[in-house]
Amino acid sequence: MVDSGGSTGRLRDELGILPPGDVLKCILALSPHRDMARAIFLKKFTLDRRLQGHNAGNMLLTMLSRYTGSFPAGIQALAEILDARGSILPVTIDKATLVAELTDGTRIYGETAIDVPRGTQREKIRDVFLVPHHSDSISVYPPVIDAIEGADYIIIGPGDLFTSIIPSLIVPGVKEALQKTKAPVLYVVNIMTKFGETHNFTGRDFVRKLENSIHRQVDGIIYNTKKPDTDLLNQYLAQKAEFVEIDGPDDWYGLRKIYAADILDTSGGIVRHDSKKLAAFLNQIFSVAED
């Protein structure tokens, strides 16, 4: 809910709306018509000067939100159109800017600026926090707390640690709910590091940063064991991105369970989690826990 780049950033600046881009991707991912819907809703306009660079989905979600007078109602309406399975909840409906503080004390404002570092070197991110636009504070969207309280399992990730995952967890009320929940909290560790955010991170570094943001230990760590082929790893290395290893078993992990499997997808020359493999692995974890 602090996305500031591309079409989303322009709509935020021009219309003062909440960012639709990431929510749209969630709706599309949960739709049984996802392939056709992606082709239509992610298609960018090219002919009209004002519409250039925007996609149809962002514009439709923006219009639905404005017509209903509520961003969550707009989400629900678009989810209904696309028969999305499950609920998509914005972590907050307060407008805010993501700020990163680096180890040298400098600050970077805006998710896009943090996400894409300038130059070949940048200090590491020490911390990230949210700055509200029109009030003294930011509050969690209440149904999010209800969802956490009613969950059987809570799965965090995968995603960019400092620009996607942690920003949602530091909204006031979220970490407190995660501290109280009796549901197991599982963290899906990223497959590759990212320059400017998690450069040189090991699996333990990912876990430590996440836990510092919610002030509690996770119950389980899910990570991919299958390495991409050498050519693909070299392509990522040119972008200063490396394969994430879980440091060998030792006392640091304590009661955290480590779930390891091949959940890799490299189709299209992109390293990511295979959604079907990950879903099957999660079902396996749930089944063992129930037994």
pLDDT reading at 33 higher than 80: yes
Residue 87 lies in a domain: no
Q: What is the mean pLDDT of residues 17-37?
A: 91
Residue 13 lies in a domain: yes
Q: What is the pLDDT of residue 182?
A: 95
Residue 137 lies in a domain: no
Residue 151 lies in a domain: yes
Q: What is the pLDDT of residues 155-182, one digit of tens each?
A: 999 999 999 999 999 999 999 999 999 9
Is the whole-model pTM more than 0.75? yes
| R_g (Cα) of the chain, nearest Å | 19
Do 146 and 285 fall within a single domain? yes
DSSP string computed for 219-276: SEEEEE-PPPPHHHHHHHHTTT--B-----S-GGGTT-EEEEE--EE-GGG--EE-HH
Do 63 and 118 fall within a single domain? no
The tally of domains found in the chain comes to 3
Residue 1 lies in a domain: no
pLDDT reading at 250 higher than 80: no
Do 112 and 37 fall within a single domain? no
Do 105 and 160 fall within a single domain? no
Domain encompassing residue 112: 96-132
**Cα 4 from Cα 11, distance rounded (Å):** 9
